[in-house]
Structure 1
Amino acid sequence: MCEVAMEEQEREISDIEPQEQPSVAENGVMMVVNHSQVHAPLSVVFATLLYLAEFITGAVLCSMYHKTDDNIWMGFTITFMLVPAVLIQLTLTFIHRDLGRDRPLVLLMHLLLLGPVIRCLEAVVVYYKAGKKEEPYVTISRKIHLKKGQGLPMEWEIGQSERTLAAHRNAFKRTAVIQAFLGSTPQLTLQLYATIQEKYFQPARLTLMIITLISITYGALVCSVLAIQIRYDDYKVRLRPAAYLCMIVWRGLEIATRITALVLFSTALTYWVILVGLVNLLFFFFLPWAEFWHKKGSLAEDVEKNFSKLGTTIVLCMFTLLYACINVFCWSAVQLDLTHKELIERKQRWVRLALYYCGRFVENFLLITLWYFYKSDFYEYVCAPLLVVQLLIGYSLAVLFMLLFYQFCHPCRRLFKYNVHDCLHCVCCYKRRERDKQRKSQPSYSTTGTMEMGLEEPLELLGAQNSEPPDLTRQLGERETAILDDIMEAA
């Protein structure tokens, strides 16, 4: 019964792609790998191009800083280039487990900080070889299973090539997030601050700023998609173009307004922005650990089998640091659960989402307001009130597109117990319904007198349905109050 209900629920969800059926050849032999079903590694190529473009543009800008003796800008630019590059090499080596394998060329490319390039070439080669040659072990095992009348395992239907490409895609998704929030975000903040301080746009600097903004938006987009895939891993999720467009506008506006607010505040109160950044970073870093200690749980043991408790703690700290860096600039779309083996909490917490965006809006408003009162003379020819209004409107539009995505474009919105409309309707109208209920519970003298004079028959002769009409509004209020209670319990 449970399986039938799940199948009916999956058919009702239009945005969730059904599982593809394997093709059958004319001789009755099932094909293991079909080249038409293997998707091109476009995300791997795009992430590699972003990595190379940002690294090369940053190197050119560093050489220009060296010629003009801008040692401070050059030092920070090199730092924000090398730190994410080194972390990306370590991540790719850790995911593909190359330390225990004899691959000297790959390790050399990683030492030269060109690991993503060799990984991208491997993915492209695997894609073009997919379906042309089948593995002998798979062929022999398939014939044995077909003679016995047994079905083929799912991993044979997917194919070795598709599994290899899926491993490359998953690895590059992680590296795209690392590149975006440990490299591109501080790089964009630094270059925008340097542009305002030097009061002119340099072509190489402007190019680097555009590339980093694209990288940050792509990293935030990957975070949102990964959160959906992890929460709904029982379904094959496919997002529509409208969903991608809505997420790009949402993430782009959110990140651009946040970075602009921080940079403007830093131009007026330079040293105070360090305090703001540290408070944000430390809060989001210790929040998962505080919840972990509150639950009195134990560390997840499936992070890596060969790791000791110290190694597991170090990996979890690095993972928490990345989570904190994401939340400093935008919503991470996931909540950490250090006791779970996947480290991700599957439940959608609407209250935490609302608290984050409300708090971030208030913080941005305070930062921009302080900048307005302490701004320098450089902004004499800039309409400061208009700039403040534009930033607030931009962040409000980001929140609006976020709500539109969850309400209309989320691929699994039909699986939500409550959606944005239900939450907003319950929270906004809860107090008004309480006042209406209290008003209805109080006796009205004019109504009572009219009813007593209009009654010509004893009350015993009246039925229960005729004595008082059903109160539909009260039933609706009780249902919506129950929805609100469930939401508060989920929070």
Structure 2
Amino acid sequence: MCEVAMEEQDREISDVEQCSSVAENGVMLVVNHSRARPPFSVVLATVLYCAEFVTAAVLCSMYHYTDDVIWMSFTIVFMLVPAVLIQLALTFIHRDLGRDRPLVLFLHLLLLGPVIRCFEALVIYFKSGKKEEPYVTISRKIKLKKGTGTEMEWEIGQTERILATHRDAFKRTAVIQAFLGSTPQLTLQLYATIQEKYILPTRMALMIITLISITYGALVCSVLAIQIRFDDYKLQLRPCAYLCMIVWRGLEIATRVTALVLFSTALTHWTILVGMVNLLFFFFLPWVEFWARKGSLTENVEKNFSKLDTVVVLCMFTLLYACINIFCWSAVQLDLTHQELIEKRQQWGRLAMYYCGRFVENFLLITLWYFFKSDFYEYVCAPLLVVQLLVCYSLAVLFMLLFYQFFHPFRRLFKYNVHDCLHCVCCHKKRRGEQGRRGKPAHSYSTAATMVVGAEEPVELLDTQGSQPPDLTSQLGERETAIVDDMMEAA
């Protein structure tokens, strides 16, 4: 019976492969027969977690030996808080409280939850190809139905489903580790290095690990935002796209942390005010929008949760969102009324406001440091350092624009490109006037666009020239539609 079922399933998959021609609206049928993908993202997140925890513990012992109570206390706090939150997140995602797994729960109490989860994922992966009845690997089919558009059906094997659960869990723990632990840890250790006026090798190693962790967490945020907004497609980012994103995020975070640390060395007490204003603003912004819309709390966080439990979870989620935005662009906007808690429409105006405001804030912080700096910087060319920080942040914005212009996997689905967005208002009005006199639409500078057409926008807004709405799926090429690999594995 098993052999017959497998033969029928193979015949069904082969039939889907034979129907790989482009359908009426340009959508292709995609199938992938490869075995389960290695859990590289799980291993990377676990290695970063363990490396940062061990290095911070060693540094705490050195602080204890030299009687640096303040540095030791803050280092312990920034080491334990994200570790505890990661244990809670993994337990919540895997729903272990209702299962009989005492060993796993005990290891979570010892803050070794990511290690046992990574070990489980590796065991599942290596055993997947040795079973007598191998699970069917991923097959995707897009069925065209008359009058109903497209419907994507996922047939995922049990092994791949379990590994996908581990990957999703570790993506979220990587973000928690990066912005609730690594960013304050990096800021603290850089401040301690400047105050003590010497470089400690262990402290330098911890700063390098935390910077890598923060960059990876920001990379995960960007890719998750793309996956959420374009959940109907699953495309793979090219290596050049990842390289562009790494440079963009690395420069943005390094510049931001340096500006905060330099300002804190000159005006220590004012740093608390700057940090609290940023934290409270981004924390209450989603709630103010929620109250302004007069929405109701989503009930899909957890079925057994009461309203109080839901509010607590949403507050923790909002806190993470605020911590991300303090140091870099979160790439997503919260919508507490939505089922997925994420606003799927790309807010380009908010993106521009964020980077303009952050540039001005960094400029003010560095300028204040320049006028109130201590004598420690008398051998440092302060004007050159200010210029370097501003140039690095400008380069981060430039690489972000390059990503959206040339390397975004869905740039063919966008309506406008970066070149169109950078046109001045006068040029835009002049082009409109010429278009009205000639009666012909003006052509875009490039066919690779970068401004997303929101899924919730009405069709009337797209049909400004009296034509039919554009068929975005017909613009997809064979390379974009045939990719089925996980877009996070390269991260």
TM-score (norm 1): 0.80
Q: Is the CA contact (8 Å cut-off) linking 1:65 and 1:73 kept in structure 2? A: yes
Distance in 1 between residues matched to 2:207 and 2:252, nearest whole Å: 16
Q: Is the CA contact (8 Å cut-off) linking 2:332 and 2:342 kept in structure 1? A: yes
Q: Paired residue for 1:274?
A: 272
Distance in 2 between residues matched to 1:223 and 1:335, nearest whole Å: 11
Q: Paired residue for 1:19?
A: 30
Q: Name the aligned partner's letter for residue 204 of structure 2.
A: L
Query: What secondary structure does 1:277 align onto?
Result: helix
Task: Specify which of 431, 436, 441 is matched with residue 426 of structure 2.
Answer: 431
Instruction: Indicate yes or no: 2:333 matched with 1:367.
Output: no
Q: Paired residue for 2:7?
A: none
Distance in 2 between residues matched to 1:255 and 1:297, nearest whole Å: 34
Q: Paired residue for 1:471?
A: 437
Q: Paired residue for 2:204?
A: 206
Q: Paired residue for 1:176?
A: 174
Distance in 1 between residues matched to 2:428 and 2:413, nearest whole Å: 28
Residue 436 to residue 399, structure 1, CA distance change in 2 (3 Å): closer
CA shift digits 1:346-404 (9 cap, x unpaired): 10111111110000000000000000000000000000000000000000000000000
Q: Paired residue for 1:128?
A: 126
Query: What secondary structure does 2:343 align onto?
Result: coil
Instruction: Indicate yes or no: 2:153 matched with 1:158.
Output: no
Residue 167 to residue 51, structure 1, CA distance change in 2 (3 Å): same
More helix by share: 1
Residue 263 to residue 295, structure 1, CA distance change in 2 (3 Å): same
Distance in 1 between residues matched to 2:332 and 2:431, nearest whole Å: 38
Q: Paired residue for 1:192?
A: 190
Distance in 2 between residues matched to 1:393 and 1:317, nearest whole Å: 36
Distance in 2 between residues matched to 1:377 and 1:186, nearest whole Å: 26
Distance in 2 between residues matched to 1:380 and 1:47, nearest whole Å: 41
Query: What secondary structure does 1:307 align onto?
Result: coil
Query: What secondary structure does 2:334 align onto?
Result: coil
CA shift digits 1:89-138 (9 cap, x unpaired): 000000000000000110010000000000000000000011332669x8
Residue 433 to residue 102, structure 1, CA distance change in 2 (3 Å): closer
Distance in 2 between residues matched to 1:41 and 1:322, nearest whole Å: 25
Q: Paired residue for 2:140?
A: none
CA shift digits 1:279-304 (9 cap, x unpaired): 00000001111111111110011111
Q: Name the aligned partner's letter for residue 181 of structure 1.
A: F
Distance in 2 between residues matched to 1:340 and 1:366, nearest whole Å: 37
Give the RMSD, CA atoms, in angstroms.
Answer: 2.7
Q: Is the CA contact (8 Å cut-off) linking 2:186 and 2:207 kept in structure 1? A: yes
Q: Paired residue for 1:327?
A: 325
Residue 104 to residue 268, structure 1, CA distance change in 2 (3 Å): same
Please list every run of 5 or more consecutive structure 2 residues that lacks an aligned counterpart in the other structure.
1-20, 137-151, 444-449, 458-491
Distance in 1 between residues matched to 2:322 and 2:270, nearest whole Å: 19
1:86, CA displacement in angstroms?
0.1
Distance in 1 between residues matched to 2:89 and 2:416, nearest whole Å: 37
Distance in 1 between residues matched to 2:228 and 2:432, nearest whole Å: 42
Query: What secondary structure does 2:333 align onto?
Result: coil
Q: Is the CA contact (8 Å cut-off) linking 1:84 and 1:183 kept in structure 2? A: yes
Residue 344 to residue 9, structure 1, CA distance change in 2 (3 Å): farther
Distance in 1 between residues matched to 2:194 and 2:436, nearest whole Å: 67
Distance in 2 between residues matched to 1:333 and 1:237, nearest whole Å: 18
1:473, CA displacement in angstroms?
8.5
1:471, CA displacement in angstroms?
2.9
Q: Paired residue for 1:460?
A: none
Instruction: Indicate yes or no: 2:63 matched with 1:52.
Output: no
Residue 7 to residue 422, structure 1, CA distance change in 2 (3 Å): farther
Residue 131 to residue 204, structure 1, CA distance change in 2 (3 Å): same
Q: Paired residue for 1:287?
A: 285
Q: Name the aligned partner's letter for residue 105 of structure 2.
A: L
Q: Name the aligned partner's letter for residue 211 of structure 2.
A: L
Q: Name the aligned partner's letter for residue 304 of structure 2.
A: N
Give the total of aligned pairs: 416
Query: What secondary structure does 1:418 align onto?
Result: coil
Q: Name the aligned partner's letter for residue 431 of structure 1.
A: C
Instruction: Indicate yes or no: 2:85 matched with 1:87.
Output: yes
Q: Is the CA contact (8 Å cut-off) linking 1:437 and 1:474 kept in structure 2? A: no
Residue 475 to residue 277, structure 1, CA distance change in 2 (3 Å): same
Residue 119 to residue 422, structure 1, CA distance change in 2 (3 Å): same
Q: Is the CA contact (8 Å cut-off) linking 2:183 and 2:210 kept in structure 1? A: yes
Distance in 1 between residues matched to 2:351 and 2:71, nearest whole Å: 36
Distance in 2 between residues matched to 1:262 and 1:45, nearest whole Å: 32
Q: Name the aligned partner's letter for residue 196 of structure 1.
A: I
Please list every run of 5 or more consecutive structure 1 residues that lacks an aligned counterpart in the other structure.
12-17, 23-35, 140-152, 441-468, 478-482
Larger Rg: 1
TM-score (norm 2): 0.80
1:433, CA displacement in angstroms?
4.9
Distance in 1 between residues matched to 2:261 and 2:286, nearest whole Å: 28
Distance in 1 between residues matched to 2:198 and 2:24, nearest whole Å: 60
Distance in 2 between residues matched to 1:46 and 1:296, nearest whole Å: 41
Q: Is the CA contact (8 Å cut-off) linking 1:19 and 1:236 kept in structure 2? A: no
1:418, CA displacement in angstroms?
2.4
Task: Specify which of 110, 113, 132 is matched with residue 112 of structure 1.
Answer: 110
Query: What secondary structure does 1:271 align onto?
Result: helix
Once the two structures are aligned, what percentage of the paired residues are identical? 76
Q: Is the CA contact (8 Å cut-off) linking 2:35 and 2:129 kept in structure 1? A: no
Q: Name the aligned partner's letter for residue 177 of structure 2.
A: Q
1:476, CA displacement in angstroms?
4.0
Q: Is the CA contact (8 Å cut-off) linking 1:224 and 1:332 kept in structure 2? A: yes
Q: Paired residue for 1:398?
A: 396
Residue 475 to residue 237, structure 1, CA distance change in 2 (3 Å): closer
Distance in 1 between residues matched to 2:359 and 2:40, nearest whole Å: 35
Q: Paired residue for 2:75?
A: 77
Query: What secondary structure does 1:347 align onto?
Result: coil
